Structure 1
Amino acid sequence: MSEHHYTGDLPPEKFNMAAFCLSPALHRDPAKIALTIDHGDDQPDRWSYAALDRAVQGIAAGLQARGLSKGDRVLIRMGNTPEAALMFFGAIAGGFVPVPTSAQLTQLEAAFVLRNSGAELIALSPDLPIDSGQTPTLLPPDIAELAQSPGAGYADTHKDDPAFLVYTSGTSGTPKGVLHAHRSVWGRKPMVEGWYGLTSNDVMVHAGAVNWTYTLGVGLSDPWANGAATVLYNGPKDINVWPRLIRTHKGTLFAAVPSLYRQLLRDSDICDGIPTLRHGLTAGEPLPEQVAADWAGMTGLPLFEALGMSECSTYISSGPVTPTRAGSPGRPQPGRCVAILPAEKTADATPLPPGETGLLAVHRTDPALMLGYWKRPEEDMQVWHGDWFCGGDLAHMDDDGYVWFEGRADDVMNAQGYRVSPAEVEAALLSHRGVHEVAVREVEVSSGVHLIAAFVKPEGIAPEIADLLAHAANSLAPYKRPREIRFLDEMPRTANGKLARKQLPARL
């Protein structure tokens, strides 16, 4: 092995991710409430560790009884419900591979994931449309019945066996599957010290939905693996919900995206006090310095940022043991092996010295890294520079090891914490008969506020903007849709005639 490698503890060979999070253990009190889903009324769903353990074992046994084999995929197309969480961990408990999807996906997007993943079964909320074809479906009552099945323990899986499959935007224009192993949850252990400061006494209030990897990891897997408790929300939208949840459930940690913190500061009663909170956690998009400063000024508490990716979760962060530096997401978490590599591939992939900009890279020995891209071997080859995984982020490190993000090497955008490919948005708009050419990019509309904008060269007379937006809504989830459309006579080009996306107007 080279001198560069992951230095944290490594998982055992026989390892099941769901068992690591939920099986009986000394640090998990069976009677303790592990999961609360608040619906905005006085009747939240509450699950103890013992109840979760029984339910996921029951679902695992029930799926096996239905004929599923080890490694079979189970598509989860559900809202922010207990059944969605139970299906995710129940499938993993049985050695199957859940495929969580955003409830915001259109029917066309969901159908693509179903076909591409080859799922053998769909866990479905009846209000979310999907063309299931011949694929059998389970509705919430079916899942509740499965959860009552006699459990037969957790599957005897290997640390490198597939555990779950998530889809993220790439540069090709269609979502790509990221396949993770059971060991991925063990690879999250550096986050406990390096970002959270998490203990079994903590109550994690998470603002995300169950089907998002940010929630599945930060909101569920990590608190449960450490004997803590989680509070999620599934009720009417109201910005004051979040201070109320923290106060009502005595939340000690709060996790959200920066845009939600900005809205809390502007529109909520957060200033009335959140006495049990120790600090806030933020990821998914860069944290504006002003938001961090305003939060600290109003609440007296720090915001700890993390930088991550679907292929590895977070690996750079500030936290209780890593003081924040304005403008930087922090340092590599304890045990991680992170480097800055030259943007161009080299035979030896030698890390660059402090101060030089290149590709942010994680060493292949990190157990949090994905197994690979689902059915895309050519993309697997592109992201490896020797023994280093490069996700496309450009950055440099200072002499103290702090990372300074400098954008993307490709054109992938960040919208509400989700990665979005310009090519995917462009393909949706190009199918409109009034569009001759289109280019999409992320633009800054005010300090720290970014949105997706589409620049359109029309086919003859420019179509109505409302018509274009409605057309995009037919095939794009809300977070992928352009918020602004501008018409151009010609697209900017390089000397070789290629689209110069970065020369599109930087501001609207």
Structure 2
Amino acid sequence: MLFCLRLCGRDLPRHAADASWHVAMQNYQTLTAAFTWNLPARYNIAAACADDWARAAPRRVCLIEDRGEAPAVTLGYGELALSSRRLAAAMAAKGVGLGDRVAIVLPQSFQTAIAHLAVYRLGAIAVPLAMRFGPEALGFRLKAAGAKMAVLHRDGLETFGAVQDELPALESVVVVEGERDQGGDQLDFDRLIAETNGTIEDAATGPDDPALIIFTSGTTGPPKGALHGHRVVLGHLPGIRFHHEDYPQAGDRIWTPSDWAWAGGLLNVLLPSLQLGVPVVFSSERFRADEAYRLMARQGVRNAFLPATALRMLAAAGDEPAVKDLTLRTIASAGESLPAATYEWARRSLAITVNEFYGQTECNMVLGSSAAHGVSRAGAIGKSVPGHVVALLGADGREVPRGTPGTIAVKAPDPVMFLNYWQDPEATTAKFSGDWLITGDQAVMDEDGYVAFVGRDDDIITSAGYRIGPGEVENCLLAHEAVKLAAVVGKPDPLRTEIVKAYVVLKDGQPGSAALAADIQSFVRTKLSAHEYPREIAFVDEMPLTTSGKIVRRIFRERAHAEAAEAGEK
């Protein structure tokens, strides 16, 4: 996959803007056999994502803000480069330098991209955090990272104010859309850029120099900060080109509802697309299926990254008129298993084969599909992305036979692999077994090399001697006509060790009842097996999701354990 060599060069814009630059479509075996990594000695994310394009085509559009029925607002590479340089100079004047952590707590916006690039220019470390975090979650991460500066939206000031006194390392706060006369220790984002005339030289960073801390989702315990080097963007380029089928092509334009504070939004979409010269569409509005259709049609979106939950919501919306207006070329999906029914819906209704892929915050986009390259199968993640070595290991650290469940492991070194957990050497050591990064996720590889996700080690349900992965049961539940969302966990049981319990959000207009619960149970028992059907079903109004759109099973697991304990006391 020789395109990787070109992507690392300083002449990237010339190649990326030229249609003849594209690698001819090849099959998976050819791409994998030809692949080689060749990382440059010097690499800075900001220079790669803004400066190269700013020199070659300063007016080229890099970001597009959708504003509903109002005209969209755009930003060019020249302005992105200049604004991020001025902000970097202003940050440096406030004492931010090499290795300092800068928290970025913003929605999808022009300012978010500018802030990220400014931090990378300084050789500082960006810490993206979601605005939806409450005080406890936000304070934990800010304190753990030791943030020296925080860049906030005014809508997040109240939450931030509740934890600010507990952050001894914090020295300054920059506010987006704040009051011009705010004074005190709060600085106005736009004023900083407008009133800073000088710029600074980018730090002489290399691929392995730290650039970014992304906190894990916290679905299995306290969040840990995964520290990534500048190389992480280079490492994602082969994957994004693979999943979006020879990306970019003429006219490509990408969108995701995923928060840019999460690896899915930041590393699967924003930063790689900026480097490749693809306009990134964004909106500050919360995801709604009907509006998502209209947004993609309005902005001529050709490529989308949509978590499985978002795809299921689109399928449930059934907005046929809006579907006819779409110009989509590719859809990639990750973050949770893609149900076979949703996969087939997209092929039928959108005329697109969704390319699923897999990764973790610590090591992303290492397994995946690409229908155009001959890798696609309903119910499977796909195969190893060219450039990455992935295996399924048993408890003894050896590869398991085909058809046998094992733990997904990634061979080190790998450009997408994290450097370490921030200030947690013990956790870092525990993440590896020899040369392998151990994900903790269970999967099965078939004879053709396709990997099907089973579940996390701690999500596995043990019932009457059977080990049951929640993903398969959840996918079956979602195929029922009344079910909108579902989460499956193990509930302690004195006879079977655990029973399968399902928490279900019903589609609009579907009332929960004992009769419906029995019908759903019968449906799953018929579709799967007697030991996998949920012996208990609870109807809930909403599903707790992480900022990346994953269902937080931990909450339901804790609820199920509490219910079992209460029943045991009676």
**TM interval, short-chain normalised:** 0.7 to 0.9
Matched-pair contact (CA < 8 Å) for 1:167–1:178: yes
Instruction: Tell me, yes or no, if the aligned pair for 2:369 and 2:375 is still in contact at 8 Å.
Output: yes
Question: For the pair shown, which has the larger CA radius of gyration, 1 or 2?
Answer: 2
- In 1, distance between residues paired with 2:548 and 2:442? 27
In the alignment, is the contact (CA less than 8 A) between 1:362 and 1:388 conserved in 2? yes
User: What is the CA-CA distance between 1:303 and the residue it aligns to?
Assistant: 0.9
Match of 2:477 in 1: 446
2:328 maps to what in 1? 277
Q: What amino acid is aligned across from residue 404 of structure 1 in structure 2?
A: A
Taking the TM superposition and a 5 Å limit, the aligned residue runs for 1:155-166 are 155-166=203-214
**Deviation of the 1:287 alpha carbon:** 0.2
Cα distance in structure 1, aligned partners of 2:56 and 2:488: 43
CA contact (8 A) 2:99 2:210 kept: yes
Backbone CA RMSD of aligned residues: 3.4
CA distance in 2, matches of 1:364, 1:491: 46
User: CA-to-partner distance for each residue in 1:229-274, whole Å, 9 max, x for gaps?
Assistant: 1101113654222222222221111111111111112215255414
State the number of aligned residues: 446
Residues 105 and 129, structure 2, Cα contact 8 Å, conserved in 1 = yes
Q: What is the distance in 2 between the residues matched to 1:154 and 1:454? A: 51
Cα deviation per residue 1:25-77 (whole Å; 9 max; x = unaligned)? 49963212110121324143311111111122222222111111201001122
| Among candidates 68, 80, 83, match of residue 108 of structure 2 | 80
Contact preservation (8 Å) 2:254, 2:304: yes
Partner amino acid, structure 1, of 2:190: A
Alignment-derived partner of residue 301 in structure 2: 251
Aligned partner of 1:100 in structure 2 is: 128
- Is the aligned partner of 1:54 residue 2:82? yes
Partner of 1:462: none
Q: Does 1:178 align with 2:226?
A: yes
Q: Using a 3 Å threshold, how does the CA distance of structure 1 residues 68 and 451 change in structure 2: closer, same or farther?
A: same
Distance in 1 (CA, whole Å) between partners of 2:405 and 2:37 is: 30
- Provide the TM-score with structure 1 as the length reference: 0.80
Question: Which of 184, 190, 210 matches 1:144?
Answer: 190
> CA, structure 1 residues 228+370, in 2 after alignment: closer, same or farther (shift >3 Å)?
same
SS of the residue corresponding to residue 261 of structure 2 reads: coil
Structure 1 position 335 matched with structure 2 position 387: yes
Rounded Cα–Cα distance in structure 1 between residues aligned with 2:132 and 2:365: 23
Letter in 2 for 1:255: F
Structure 1 range deviating more: 123-132 or 111-120: 123-132
Establish whether residue 362 from structure 1 lines up as the match of residue 410 from structure 2: yes
- 1:302 matches 2:377: no
Encode CA deviations 1:54-110: one digit per residue, 9 max, x unaligned: 122222222111111201001122233322222122211221111111111111111
Q: Deviations over 1:387-419 (max 9, x none)?
A: 111111112322322112221123499xxxxxx
Counterpart contact for 1:24–1:30, Cα < 8 Å: no
For the Cα contact (< 8 Å) 2:407–2:443, is it kept in 1?
A: yes
Name the stretch that deviates more: 42-51 or 294-303. 42-51
Partners of 1:52 and 1:269 in 2: how far apart? Answer: 36
Q: Secondary structure at the match of 2:565?
A: coil
SS in 2 for 1:74: strand
Deviation at 1:292, TM superposition (A): 0.8
| Alignment partners' CA distance in 1, 2:460 and 2:359 | 14
Task: Output one character per residue of 1:168-196: Cα deviation in whole Å (capped at 9) or x when no partner.
Answer: 14587311111000011111122133211
Q: Which amino acid aligns with 1:302?
A: T
Q: Relative to 1, partners in 2 of residues 1:166 and 1:28: Cα closer, same or farther, differing over 3 Å?
A: farther
Please tell me the residue identity of whatever aligns with 1:223: S
**1:488 Cα deviation (Å)?**
2.9
Map 1:192-231 to 2 at 5 A: 192-197=240-245, 198-199=247-248, 201=250, 202-231=252-281
Change (3 A) 1:315 1:477: closer
SS of 1:242's equivalent in the other structure is helix
For 1:105 and 1:94, how far apart are their aligned partners in 2?
A: 27
Distance 1:124 1:456 in 2: 43
Determine the C-alpha separation between the residues in 1 that align with 2:340 and 2:414.
Answer: 30
**Residues of 2 paired with 1:340 and 1:492: CA distance?**
39
1:490 Cα deviation from its structure 2 partner? 3.3
Task: Pick the aligned partner of 1:9 from 28, 37, 57.
Answer: 37
Say if 1:277 and 1:489 are closer, same or farther in 2 by CA, change over 3 A. Answer: closer
For residue 454 of structure 1, report the CA deviation from its aligned partner: 9.9
* TM-score, normalised by the number of residues in structure 2: 0.71
The residue that corresponds to 1:286 in the other structure is: 337
Secondary structure of 1:354 counterpart: coil
User: Which is richer in helix?
Assistant: 2
**Closer, same or farther in 2 for the Cα pair 1:477/1:222, shift >3 Å?**
closer
Q: Answer whether contact 1:195 1:333 (CA < 8 A) is retained.
A: no
SS of 1:59's partner is: helix
- More contact order relative to length (CA 8 Å, sep ≥ 6): 1
Please name the residue that 2:148 is paired with: 120
For residues 33 and 378 of structure 1, do their structure 2 counterparts lie closer, same or farther at Cα, with a shift above 3 Å needed?
Answer: same
2:563 counterpart letter in structure 1 = L
Equivalent residue for 2:396? 344
Q: Tell me, yes or no, if the aligned pair for 1:6 and 1:336 is still in contact at 8 Å.
A: no
- CA distance 1:392–1:99, shift in 2 (3 Å): same
2-structure distance, mates of 1:412, 1:113: 28
Give the % identical residues: 27
Q: Identify if the C-alpha distance between structure 1 residues 103 and 456 changes in structure 2 by more than 3 Å, giving closer, same or farther.
A: farther
Contact kept in structure 2, 1:100 and 1:211, CA below 8 Å = yes
Distance verdict in 2 for CA 1:327–1:28, change over 3 Å: farther
Change in CA separation of 1:27 and 1:309 when aligned onto 2, cut-off 3 Å: farther
